[in-house]
Amino acid sequence: MRCGESVAVVTGGTGGIGTSICEALAAIGFAVVVGYGKSRQAAERLATKLPGKGHMALSTPVTDSDGLQAMARIVHERYERCDVLVNCAGTTRFVAHSDLEALDDRLIEDILATNVRGCFASLRALVPLLRVSTWPGGGVVVNISSIAARTATGSNVMYCASKAAVDNMTRSLARALAPAVRVNSVSPGLVDTEFVKSLDQGWRDEQAARTPLGRLASAEEVATAVIAVVRDLTFTTGAIVTVDGGRPLH
């Protein structure tokens, strides 16, 4: 199925996972809004390289609700529709779970504002357009979560908590917005992005060894799951779709 004039907004579109999602959506015919926070030039370069037409880079400041409303107005003025929102913007920093002092209030607030409130605020800004989407199964929201929500192991305690909140919010919003809008999470394990590849090789090997399928996820595999949720799983809402190689089974 190709999507003709359908439109997708991807927050955090210039990150390793976000880039793959933008590319995958463009490949099946979406006009993609490559959302960015600070990486304007990278977003503009990506928008020009995507297959198809109608793409644009647009500021999606997920911690600024007024800025998100301005973004939604531009999407409406340019496209008059939004069929898909992918909430991919996120932040974290490695802090040992036992080091409570290092997980300072400023970092906690940054993580929660970006990872949790940012997802909600982005949806809130675009929901009038999503409600009237003619995409099969209705408008679609995909929140990029993490298996840290389930395993409680990850970059820090608050990151894990933020992703658990995202999954809970996914279920609540799926119920609240049905039947016009479907809301699902895609929940990867550790993804072998360029950032992860820059980390200690021994640590990466250890993480892969702890995964039943014996490797890390690729950004492309996360994007494939997003496409499945958008295009194929039209009777699925409130679900947490895992791309984790069976890691919680370890």
Catalytic residue numbers, as ranges: 159
Q: Nearest CA to 228 among 142, 168, 110, 138? A: 142
